[in-house]
Structure 1
Amino acid sequence: MNRNFFAGSKAAVLGLMLCVAAGILHAEPVSESKPFAEKFLLMQLSDGEPEKQNKVLSVAANLLEYYGPDAIDIEITTFGPGVRLMYADNSRQERINSLMAQGVRFTVCMNTINTIERESGTRPELHPESIPVDVGVAHILDVVEEGYVLVRP
C-alpha cells in the first residue's frame, strides 16, 4: 500500500473522532420496550405539589397522543418530594396506570424513600410497577448521557 492511503486513513479516523467528540455524530438511544421510538424523553419530578404532578402526567399524555405511543419513549423519574406521585395511595393511580399501559416508565429514588423511612419510621408503599433506582439524580445523569432529553415541567 502506498503512503497516501495510510495518511488518508489516519485523517478519516481523526475526523470521525473529532465529530464524535464534538457531538456531531451520536447514536440515538435504544429502547428495548419501544424499538421504533424516534423521540426519547426523561421528565424530572422533584416537586410534591399536586399541580406539578398533574402537569407531568398531562405532558406525558399529550406527547403520547401527539407522537403515538410507539414513536416516543418516556420515562418519569421522581425524587425528593416528587416521590409522592408514586405512593400507592396517590389519587392519580388511574392516570399513572394508563400511561404505564402505553409504555411510560416511572422510576423512584430509593435514597429518598430510605430517608422518608428513617425520618418517619414508616416506609411508604409504592406503586407496584414503579421502578426503583438507587439515586434519582444520578439516574437522570446516566439517562441523559444515553441521549434522552431532560424536561422539568
Structure 2
Amino acid sequence: MRYLKTLSAIIFAVFTATAVLAQDGLADHKLALQISDNNPQKMNTVLNVAANVTRYYESIGESVEVRIVAFNAGLHMLREDSSPVMDRLKVFGASMPNVTFAACANTIDAMTKKEGKPTPIVNIAEHVPAGVVDLMTLDENGWTIIRP
C-alpha cells in the first residue's frame, strides 16, 4: 500500500510539474530555486536571487519564470505561522507573477504528524507531492536548478 501511495505521489508530481511547464513554456529562461534549510538568511537570499534575476531579464527585454521549491526544514519559509520572510512573500505574491512557490506535501505531512495539528501554508504556494521530485522534473524539462 505504501508503495502505491509513493508511486501515486511521484506520478502526481510529474503531472504537476508538466502543467507548470505548459503554462510558462513561453519564457525565455526558467530558474528553480531550492530552499531546504530553516535559515532566514538563506530564505532572503533565495528571494533576492529571484528578484535580481527577474530584474535583469526584464531589463534586457527577456522573460523568466522562477519557481521556489521548499521542502524539509526550508518549508518554514512558506508556513503562515513561522515564516521569517512573510512580509516579503506577500510582496512577491502581489508584484512578481513570474515567481511561483511550491510546498512539499511530504514535508507538510511530516510536520503535521509531528506537531499534531495542520501545517498552515501561505496561499500563494502550490502543494506538490514531493519537492525533490518537482525539482527533478523541472530539471528534466530544461530548467536551471540553483541552491543559493
Q: Would you call these one fold, judging by a TM-score over 0.5?
A: yes
What TM-score, normalized to structure 2? 0.76
- 4+ residue segments displaced more than 3 Å: none
Task: Give yes or no for contact 1:60–1:99 (8 Å, CA) kept in 2.
Answer: no
1:147 and 2:142 equivalent?
yes
Aligned length: 124
Q: Please state if 1:53 is matched with 2:40.
A: no
Identity %: 28
Q: Secondary structure of 2:31's match?
A: strand
Q: Which has the higher contact order (CA 8 A, sep 6+)?
A: 2
Alignment-mate amino acid for residue 85 of structure 2: R
Mean alpha-carbon deviation: is it higher for 105-114 or for 68-77? Answer: 68-77
**Residue number in structure 1 paired with 2:28:** 38
Larger Rg: 1
Aligned to 1:73: 65
Partner residue in 2 for 1:17:
none
In structure 2, give the amino acid aligned to 1:63: V
Over the aligned positions, Cα root-mean-square deviation in angstroms equals 2.0
User: Secondary structure at the residue paired with 1:126?
Assistant: coil
Give the partner amino acid of 1:82.
Answer: G
Higher helix proportion: 2
From 133, 138, 150, give the equivalent of 2:133: 138
Q: Distance in 2 between matches of 1:30 and 1:141?
A: 13
1:34 and 1:71 in contact (8 A); partners too? no
